[in-house]
Structure 1
Amino acid sequence: MTLRYPKAEGSLTSAPSLIKSRIESIDVLRGLIMIIMALDHTRDFFHAQAWTDDPLNLDTTTPFLYVTRWITHFCAPTFALLSGTSIYLQGVRKSRRELSLFLLKRGLWLIVAEVLLIAPADTFTLFNTITLAVFWSLGISMVFMAGLTWLPFRAILCIGLAIVLGHNLLDAVEQAPGFTSGFWWALFHGGSHRVFEYAPGRVIDVLYPFFPWLGLMMLGYCLGRLFEPAVWATKRQQWLVYLGAGAIGLFVGLRLLNEYGDPFPWSIQKDGLTTLFSFLKVHKYPPSLLYMCITVGPGLLGLALLENVHNRVTGVLRTYGRTAFFYYTIHWYILHTLRMSLFFAAGHTMTEADKALQTIPMRFVLPGNGGYNLGVVYLIWIAVVASLYPLCRWFDAYKTTHKEQWWLSYL
């Protein structure tokens, strides 16, 4: 039985053009955040202080460094939201059973990919350090969505809102005296580089606890209703603006109260700019309510804006967005291979690389001042992203002309 949704305002006769615009705007935004995301990873590999200080440390950061790190906050929540939207749109052309089975298999595949493809790209070792990050959180969320999509739309919306709006109530539990985050709690809500040894010399590093990301994916699923073919483009854009502005407004209101929505309050600093940085410094691991509001809000506004923009730039962004899994996986290996080459070219040895691996979950990255300044980081970032475009364009064309190959739907 196919999924049936109530008709939204608009004419079904204009469906083909609306579907095209919808797909382009989602893919363009996804492509933009993939490019921004690569900046953060390039900084991790090449910046001199990447592993010795927090770029958001108000006592030591610079405005350029702070903004370089802060803008990459938009990537993960926007991607999780759009993943939920894509799930809804797949449900329009699949039966509930087909959608559920697909989500289960794709979710499990993403978890396997995290362990076998992405974690080795961090360390160039297999099973030494398994970091559970983006693919893990998206994968396990899809596994849950395989069951949740059987629920009524309103139930999914209510549960998603409850998770996103209410999960910071768990902060009180985590901040209670004597609380210790075990492995299962770390997977659920208390991540942020919680390291657990699963065998001698081998660890699991939980970076992305899944619970808040699941809530955000559920809301993205509900957002998909705005992208049904029968919804007028102007009506969709209005709602995206309302929702985006509402999320930003909620962030400002709750952040001013300084009581709920983020485990770390802001405070008045030595000057106005640093005070603003304190106000905007919100918690990512796990993503707080305020973190999600200030990142998803502008993302929704971006969706409204991008729907009417069609040029060469959006064409390039769309290519990156349509090949996100392919792009994400390959860019890790390019960055690490380049850093390894520079590492050995500077006269360093494998012994030094192994020693560094004992303190940071990444190989061939020198601690201290062994990296480069931000100007060089930006040049490397631009070069790597540009070098990936021909590959992504080829893969996008291959997927388009080989839709009969089932395995491509998992990439």
Structure 2
Amino acid sequence: MFTTANQYFMDTITKRIQVIDVVRGIIMALMALDHTRDYFHIDAMTQDPTNMATTTPLLFFTRWITHYCAPTFVFLSGTSIYLQSLRKTKKELAWFLFTRGLWLVIAELTIVGFGWSFDPFFRFFFLQVMWAIGCSMIILSGLIFFNYWVLAVAGVVITLTHNLMDYTFISDPEMRTALNVFLITDFKVYSLLGTKIMIAYAVLPWTGIMLLGYAAGHWYNTKVYTPVQRRKFLVTTGCALIGLFIILRLVNSYGDFKPWQHQASEVYTFMSFLNVTKYPPSLMYACMTLGPALLLLAVLEPVHSRFTTIMNTFGRVPFFYYLLHVYVIHFLCVGLYFIEGFTFNDLFTKPMAFGFRPEEGFGLPLGYIYPLWILVLILCYYPSRWYDNYKSIHNKWWLGYI
């Protein structure tokens, strides 16, 4: 009897961990699609895929589907932090969050940034999701000492209210710069000590999403909830978020500073309806992405297949995979750069979005992006599987940071 109960407990833990990693792996695979498009699509640097006047449905949805990546990634980071809180003291967890958050910020400025730019002089910093997760972890390292409900309520309040800034005009340039780092994000490029910095991910809204993930992690506490109860909460909350998105979008007022508009066709009107703001993540954006993510967590929990096994591998080594896929995509881009007839001299004479990625006259039609994306996933899978196996049989402190 004891053995059966213990086995059930272990099976529940395994399923819980697997479904979180599977969903994380899925959204990270989608992340590679967006980054492959950035480096290889011929219009990636000259055309906004969400511009209703110039986009096509295929291009729009190629970009739109990847909107699910960052919020789900950050949300599940919060969920993982809650699960760690079940086996670590608050002091231990706070130190881990602070040091890992600091490491992610440093990595964004060094090895991740170089992977994006291939610029050994680091003349441009583009602060993205690792920056947001790192800063959020640092903030959470202090908040973790508060009661669970304080963090849960803080996540809800931040997500619900930060769009109030849409109605606020800040005239003081220094104040706006500070707010841009933490809240607004208008993609302004800043100059500092001879380098340029673009902050794509404002910290506070993403911290709010991480706190929501932390709150949802409570549902994975097997001492409190059964799998059936957990899936009920996930489905109910997911449907509620999708419903809130639809209501807010129909009202077309609060929750996103970019209202939808009727277009020349029903398809484009629908696209406009879905075209919410990611920078910073608006309330509507959070509802639109996190709602389906919760449903996916509920649906995939009992599923075990070859597909979920592959996605589980990606999801178990998120930082390793993230770093790897950036370098794989960029090295493939270098190959296409020379295949298309560009030379080293062009690096100094033509405008470059990234190293070996000319802004104009370079790239492939959208139809080629999808097979290239699959190639990237294949090239990333085997090293990710090797590293996952390495982590599973080695108990070294630094493995928790990579």
TM-score range, shorter chain: over 0.9
1:406 and 2:397 aligned = yes
1:90 pairs, out of 71, 78, 84, with 84
Q: Which amino acid aligns with 1:406?
A: W
Moved more, 259-268 or 117-126: 117-126
Structure 2 partner of 1:148: 143
Partner SS, residue 190 of structure 2: strand
Q: For structure 1, list consecutive stretches of 5 or more residues without a partner in the other structure.
A: 1-10
Q: Superposed, which structure 2 residues align to 1:269-280 within 5 Å?
A: 269-280=263-274
Moved over 6 A (4+): 176-181
CA distance in 1, matches of 2:164, 2:141: 26
1:19 pairs, out of 4, 7, 13, with 13
Classify 1:257/1:367 alpha carbon distance in 2 versus 1 (closer, same or farther; 3 Å). Answer: same
CA distance in 1, matches of 2:284, 2:348: 38
Q: Which amino acid aligns with 2:104?
A: L
Q: Superposed, which structure 2 residues align to 1:281-320 within 5 Å?
A: 281-320=275-314
Partner SS, residue 261 of structure 2: coil
Structure 1 partner of 2:157: 162
CA distance in 2, matches of 1:112, 1:367: 28
CA distance in 1, matches of 2:370, 2:231: 33
Structure 1 partner of 2:109: 115
Structure 1 partner of 2:360: 368
Structure 2 partner of 1:397: 389
CA distance in 2, matches of 1:265, 1:377: 30
Structure 1 partner of 2:258: 264
Structure 2 partner of 1:379: 371
Partner SS, residue 382 of structure 2: helix
Kept after mapping to 2: 8 A contact 1:16/1:229: no
| CA root-mean-square deviation | 1.6
2:201 pairs, out of 200, 208, 228, with 208
1:221 pairs, out of 188, 204, 214, with 214
CA distance in 1, matches of 2:142, 2:6: 30
1:100 pairs, out of 84, 94, 102, with 94
Partner SS, residue 54 of structure 2: coil
Kept after mapping to 1: 8 A contact 2:101/2:135: yes
Partner SS, residue 357 of structure 2: coil
Q: Which amino acid aligns with 1:407?
A: W
User: Matched residues, percent identical?
Assistant: 43
Instruction: Return the TM-score normalized by structure 2.
Output: 0.95
Classify 1:20/1:344 alpha carbon distance in 2 versus 1 (closer, same or farther; 3 Å). Answer: same
Q: What is the CA-CA distance between 1:347 and the residue it aligns to?
A: 2.3
CA distance in 2, matches of 1:206, 1:138: 13
State the aligned residue count. Answer: 396
Kept after mapping to 2: 8 A contact 1:123/1:357: no
1:76 and 2:70 aligned = yes
CA distance in 2, matches of 1:295, 1:354: 40
Classify 1:363/1:238 alpha carbon distance in 2 versus 1 (closer, same or farther; 3 Å). Answer: same
Q: What is the CA-CA distance between 1:379 and the residue it aligns to?
A: 1.1
1:59 and 2:53 aligned = yes
Kept after mapping to 2: 8 A contact 1:104/1:142: yes
Instruction: Return the TM-score normalized by structure 1.
Output: 0.93
Q: What is the CA-CA distance between 1:12 and the residue it aligns to?
A: 8.4
Q: Which amino acid aligns with 1:221?
A: Y
Q: For structure 2, list consecutive stretches of 5 or more residues without a partner in the other structure.
A: none
Structure 2 partner of 1:135: 130
Render the CA deviation track for 1:309-365: whole Å, top value 9, x for unaligned.
Answer: 01111011100100111111011111111111221232213342244556x3x2211
Q: What is the CA-CA distance between 1:191 and the residue it aligns to?
A: 1.8
Q: What is the CA-CA distance between 1:193 and the residue it aligns to?
A: 2.6
Kept after mapping to 1: 8 A contact 2:75/2:210: yes
CA distance in 2, matches of 1:340, 1:71: 26
